[in-house]
Amino acid sequence: MRLRKALWPDCSPDRFAVERELYQRCAGVIALAFDENNHAFGFAEVTIRREHVSGSRHDVIPYLEGWYVDPLRQGEGVGRALIDFVSDWARSAGYTELASDTELENVLSQHAHKRLGFREVERVVSFIKDLDE
C-alpha cells in the first residue's frame, strides 16, 4: 500500500480499497522488489483486461496498471527487472503483448517505457461531463 500511495498520491483510500478488491478477483500478477531487510521498494502490477486496448491486436491483454520504484533505488535496474518478470509471466501464460499507459506530462515514465521496449500507440485527452448540473 505504501508503494501504491507513493505512485498515486491523490488516490483516495476508498478508491484503493475498490481497486484492491477488483485486482484480487482479476487474473494477473504483482511483482515486488525487496531489499536485503525484506523491505519492499518497488512493484509492477498487471491485470488482464478483457476489452479493447488501443494499439493491441487482441481483446484480452495483460495491462501494466502500476509500476514504481522508490526514487532512491531508481537507476539500479530494478524497474527493468520488474518489467522483465511480468513480461516473462505474460509470455508463459500465452500472451504476446503487454500494454501500459502513463500521463501525458509524465515524460520520465514515457522514456522509461520506451527504453524497455514499449512503443507509443496513442495520445489522448479524456473528458467527463457531469450530468447532474
pLDDT in tens, 46-75: 999 998 899 999 999 999 999 999 999 999
- Residue 67 near residue 80, CB atoms below 8 Å: no
- Please indicate, yes or no, if residue 100 is contained in any of the structural domains: yes
pLDDT in tens, 78-122: 999 999 999 999 999 999 999 999 999 999 999 999 999 999 999
- Please indicate, yes or no, if residue 50 is contained in any of the structural domains: yes
CATH of the domain at 88: 3.40.630.30
In one-letter notation, the amino acid at residue 124 is V
* pTM passes above 0.75: yes
Helices then strands, each counted (H, E), the chain: 4, 4
- Please indicate, yes or no, if residue 121 is contained in any of the structural domains: no
- Please indicate, yes or no, if residue 122 is contained in any of the structural domains: no
- Please indicate, yes or no, if residue 126 is contained in any of the structural domains: no
Q: Is the pLDDT of residue 20 over 90?
A: no
Q: In a 10 Å sphere around its CB, with 0-12 CB exposed, 13-18 middle and 19+ buried, how is residue 64 labelled?
A: buried
